[in-house]
Amino acid sequence: MSEELVGYYRQMQRIRRVEEESARVYLSGKIGGFLHLYIGQEAIAVGAGAAIRERDFLITTYRDHGHALVRGVSARAIVAELYGRDTGISRGLGGSMHMFDEERRFLGGHGIVGGHIALGAGAAFRCKYLKTDDVVICFFGEGATPIGGFHEGLTLAGLWRLPIVFVCENNHYAMGTPMERTNPVSEVTAKGVGYGMETDRFEGHDVEVVAERLKAAIARARRGEGPTLVEILTYRFRGHSMSDPGKYRTTEEVDEKKRTRDPVKLARERLLARGVSEERLAAIDAEIEAEVADALAYADASAWPTHDVMNATVLAPSLAYPPRFDGAHEPFEATSLPASVEPMLSKGGA
Amino acid sequence: MRELSYRDALNEAIAEEMARDPSVFLMGEEVGYYNGAYKVSRGLLERFGPERVIDTPIAESGFAGVGVGAAMTGLRPIIEFMTWNFSFVAIDQVVNSAAKMFQMSGGQYKIPIVFRGPNASARQVGSQHSQSLDAIYTNFPGLYVVYPATPRDAKGLLKMAIRDDNPVVFLEGEILYNHKGEVPDEGADELIPFGQARVAREGTDVTVVTWGRPYYTVMEVAKELEAEGISCEVIDPRTLRPLDHASIVKSVKKTNRCVVVHEHWPYGGPGAEIVDRVQREAFDDLDAPVLRATNLDVPMPYAVELENDVIVTKERIRKTILQSLYRS
C-alpha cells in the first residue's frame, strides 16, 4: 500500500510544483491569458489516473494541467504550451485551457463550461459502438451542473447506458459564486436520479479514497452497467484564475482548508506514519524540483510556432478539396488584389 | 443517368457510404423508426440497424456533442438536424468543438463529421423555421459549408463530405427535397470535390451567381430573358466555403457584369463576400456595380402573400439583372 501511495504522492507533488511555478512565472509575463490552477484538488486527478487504464479516455475542463500530467504528458510539453511555444503539447495553439494528447487518449482541455460533457459521452458512444471495454472519465466542476450541456450530456449517457464516469469536482465556488447561489439542490448527486444513473459522493483530499471509490465506478462502466455521476468534494487553494483576488471567501476559510484538506500534505504525513523515510520523500521532492526547473528552461529555449503551423492546422488534409490535399488553410484575404492593380496602388494611384 | 429526387439522392449517398465504411453512422431526431422527419433516412434503420441509425431525444447540443466526441475517437458521424434552425441550440458544438478542435489541439484531433439537414424557407412555417444559415456558418474557419441545389450535386457532395476528415456543414434546401433531376446510375460512386463551382448555364451578357432554392428561380428568369435577347451565365458555387471565386471572376471578366442572388439576409454572408471579391479581382472588367437580389431584411412572416414577397422573388431577380444591364 505504501508503494502505491508513494506513487500518488509523487504525482500530486509534480502537479503542485508545476502549478506553483506556473503561477510564479505568470507574474513575469511568460504565460499569457487565463491560467486556472489545480492546487488543492490534486488528489482527484491522481486518484482517477490510478483508477483508469492507459487506453481509457480522459476529458476535462480548462483547469487541465493536472489531468494532462496524470495522463502522462511531460512537464516539458505542458510548460511549453503555457509559454505558447511550438514544442507545447498543442503546439502553442491551445494554451493553458486547451491541452490535448491524442496518443495518450487525453481528449482535452475545453473552455466552454459544460461544452465538453457531451464530447465525453461521444467518446463513450464510440467505445460501445466498437464493442470495446474502454471507458471514459469526464471531469467538470459543480459550476457546470446548471448549464444545458451537462443536462443533455448526462441524459444521453444515461439513456444509452454509455461506459462513462462523470466526475464533478465540487470545489464549492463557480468562479466567485458559492453553490447555494448556483444550484437549487445542495448535492450534485441529487441530480443523478433524473438521468437514471448510479451516484457516489465523498471528500476528495485523500487520494487513496479517491482511487478506491473511482475504481468501483470505472469497473461498473467497464462491465457495461452504465454511467455513474460521482461528486467529489474538494477545495481550490488559489483563485479561479490568476486574475481572481478571491474576495468572495475569507482568508480564515482558505487557511482552514489548507490546514485540514491539503491532499499533498496528507499523503506526506501518512507516508511518514507508515514508515517511509523523510530522506526518501526529500529525494522525490528534489527529483521533482529538477524536473520542473528543466521544464521551465526547456520552454524558455523553445521556438515560437509559425504561421505555417497555424495555417496547416485549420483543416486536416482534405480529400474533398483537391487544392488543399496538404491540409493547408486558404485564408480569406480581404486585401488581395490582382497583379494589374497592385502596381497602381503602390505608386499612390495611377 | 436516371431521374431521382433530391431527397432520394441524399438517401442513396448516406446508404452507399454506410455500406462502404462501418465507422459511418447516422444520428438525429426521428432518423430511425420514423424514417426521417423529411424521409431522407427512409429505410436506413431497416438496412443498417439501430446501432448505426440512432434516434435521439430532442437534445441537439447533446447529440451534436456526442457526434464530435465520436469523431475525435475514430468514428465518422452524420448528425442530422431536423432543420438547421435547431442548430442554434447546438452551435457551440458545431463551432467551438468541431470547427476549432483540429487547430486547438495543435493538429492532433481531426473531426470527420457531417452536420446535415434542411435549411432556409419552406412554406409558411414562420420565422423560427425559415432561416438560411449559410451566412452564419461560412464565417468560421475550420468548417466546410456545402449547399447543393440539384440532386446530382446533393449526392456527390454528400458522399464527399462523409469521406472528408473535416467538419462539414451540409445545408439541404428544405423546399428542394421533391425536386427531381439527373443522377448517375447506382454504383457510379461520383464524388464531387469542394471549391469547384458549376456553370449551370453559359451566357455572355451578365454573370448570375446563385445557390440553394433561388437557383431554380434564377434558371427560370434566365430562360425568359433569353427570349428577350439577354444572355445570362449562371454559376452555382455549390460549396460556399471553400468558395470557387476564380470561376466567378473568370466569368465576370467575360460578361463584365455580375448579380448575386441568395436566400440569406442581405447583411454580410457569402453574398456580400462574393461582391467583395468580384469588385477587387475584376475591378477593371466591370461595366456596372455588382448587384444583389436577396430575401428582404425582415424575419420571415407567416402570411402567404408576405412570405412570397420576402423570399427572393422572380420579379426582383429579373429587375436586378436588368438594372445591372442598365435596362431597367
Q: What's the pTM? A: 0.96
**Beta carbons within 8 Å of A154's beta carbon, 6+ residues apart:** A117, A121, A166, A191, A195, A197, A227, A229
User: Residue B82 gets which letter from DSSP?
Assistant: S
Say what the alpha-carbon torsion angle B314, B296, B301, B240 is, to the nearest 10 degrees.
Answer: 80
**Beta carbons within 8 Å of B182's beta carbon, 6+ residues apart:** B1, B2, B3, B4, B151, B152
Q: Does A100 touch chain B (CB under 8 A)?
A: yes
Three cell numbers written together for A147? 448549464
Distance CA B299, CA B48 (A): 40
Q: Does B59 touch chain A (CB under 8 A)?
A: yes
**A36 near A62, Cβ under 8 Å?**
yes
- Burial B260-270, CB ≥16 within 10 A → b, else e: bbbbbbbeebb
Three cell numbers written together for A28? 513575469
CA distance A177 to chain B (A): 24
Active site residue B262: no
**B44 near B26, Cβ under 8 Å?**
yes
**A210 near A52, Cβ under 8 Å?**
no
Three cell numbers written together for B132? 438560411
Alpha carbon B324 to chain centroid distance?
A: 26
Active site residue B60: yes
Are A338 and B66 inside 8 Å of each other by CB?
A: no
Q: What confidence tens digit (pLDDT) does each residue in A100-156 have?
A: 999 999 999 999 999 999 999 999 999 999 999 999 999 999 999 999 999 999 999
Residue A335: φ, ψ to 5°: -120, -5
Whole-number pLDDT of residue B39: 97
Q: Does B163 touch chain A (CB under 8 A)?
A: yes
A2-26 and A207-222 helices, crossing angle to 10°: 100
Residue B309: φ, ψ to 5°: -85, -30
Are B69 and A126 inside 8 Å of each other by CB?
A: yes
Give the angle subtended at the CA of A133 by the CAs of A129 and A136, to the nearest 5°. Answer: 80
| A window 267-296, beta carbon within 8 A of B | none
Alpha carbon B36 to chain centroid distance?
A: 19
Distance CA A276, CA A129 (A): 46
Q: What percent of chain A has pLDDT over 90?
A: 87
Question: Minimal Cα distance from A155: which residue of B?
Answer: B62
Whole-number pLDDT of residue A326: 56
Which residue in the list B16, B17, B29, B60 is annotated as catalytic?
A: B60
Model-level ipTM above the cut of 0.90? yes
Distance CA B274, CA B280 (A): 10
**B277 near B248, Cβ under 8 Å?**
yes
**Beta carbons within 8 Å of A10's beta carbon, 6+ residues apart:** A284, A288
Q: Does B67 touch chain A (CB under 8 A)?
A: yes
CA distance A16 to chain B (A): 24
Distance CA B85, CA B128 (A): 7
Are A153 and B62 inside 8 Å of each other by CB?
A: yes
Report which of B192, B249, B257, B211 is spatially closest to residue B231, judged by C-alpha positions. B257
Q: What confidence tens digit (pLDDT) does each residue in A55-86 have?
A: 999 999 999 999 999 999 999 999 999 999 99
Whole-number pLDDT of residue A333: 74
Q: What confidence tens digit (pLDDT) does each residue in B125-162 have?
A: 999 999 999 999 999 999 999 999 999 999 999 999 99
Neighbours of A323 (CB within 10 A): 14
Helix (H) or strand (E) holding B259: strand B258-262
Q: What confidence tens digit (pLDDT) does each residue in B260-305 have?
A: 999 999 999 999 999 999 999 999 999 999 999 999 999 999 999 9
Distances (CA, A) of A164 to A133, A219, A224, A336, B160: 11, 10, 10, 49, 32
Length of chain B: 328
Which sign does the torsion angle of CA B90, B91, B92, B95 carry? positive
Report which of A167, A135, A148, A152 is spatially closest to residue A67, judged by C-alpha positions. A167
Report which of B21, B20, B147, B158 is spatially closest to residue B76, judged by C-alpha positions. B21
**Beta carbons within 8 Å of B125's beta carbon, 6+ residues apart:** B300
**Beta carbons within 8 Å of A183's beta carbon, 6+ residues apart:** A142, A145, A146
Length of chain A: 350
Chain B residues with beta carbon closer than 8 angstroms to that of A156:
56-57, 59, 62-63, 66
Chain B residues with beta carbon closer than 8 angstroms to that of A94:
104-106
Three cell numbers written together for A346? 503602390
How would you classify the pairing of strands B198-201 and B232-236? antiparallel
Say if residue B166's pLDDT is above 90: yes
Q: What confidence tens digit (pLDDT) does each residue in B89-125 have?
A: 999 999 999 999 999 999 999 999 999 999 999 999 9
Three cell numbers written together for A274? 507508515
**Beta carbons within 8 Å of A283's beta carbon, 6+ residues apart:** none
How would you classify the pairing of strands B258-262 and B291-294? parallel
Q: Mean pLDDT for chain B?
A: 97
The 3 state secondary structure assigned to chain A is CHHHHHHHHHHHHHHHHHHHHHHHHHCCCCCCCCCCCCCCCHHHHHHHHHHCCCCCEEEEECCCHHHHHHCCCCHHHHHHHHCCCCCCCCCCCCCCCCCCECCCCEEEEECCCCCCHHHHHHHHHHHHHCCCCCCEEEEEEHHHCCCHHHHHHHHHHHHCCCCEEEEEEECCEECCEEHHHCCCCCCHHHHHHHHCCEEEEEECCCHHHHHHHHHHHHHHHHCCCCCEEEEEECCCCCCCCCCCCCCCCCHHHHHHHHHHCCHHHHHHHHHHHCCCCHHHHHHHHHHHHHHHHHHHHHHHHCCCCCHHHHHHCCCCCCCCCHHHCCCCCCCCCCCCCCCCCHHHHHCCCC
Interface test with A, best of B51, B53, B66, B88 (most A CBs within 10 A): B66
- Burial B189-223, CB ≥16 within 10 A → b, else e: eebbbbbbbbebbebebbbbbbbbbbbbbbbebbe
CA distance B102 to chain A (A): 6
Which three-class secondary structure state does DSSP give residue B258?
strand
| B window 230-249, beta carbon within 8 A of A | 242
Distance CA A75, CA B77 (A): 34
Low pLDDT (below 70) residues in chain A: 1, 323-330, 340-350
Q: Does A196 touch chain B (CB under 8 A)?
A: no
Burial of A252 (0-12, 13-18, 19+ CB in 10 A): exposed
CA distance A51 to chain B (A): 21
Chains A and B form CB pairs within 8 A to the count of 194
Three cell numbers written together for B214? 433561388
pLDDT level of residue B186 (50, 70, 90 thresholds) = confident
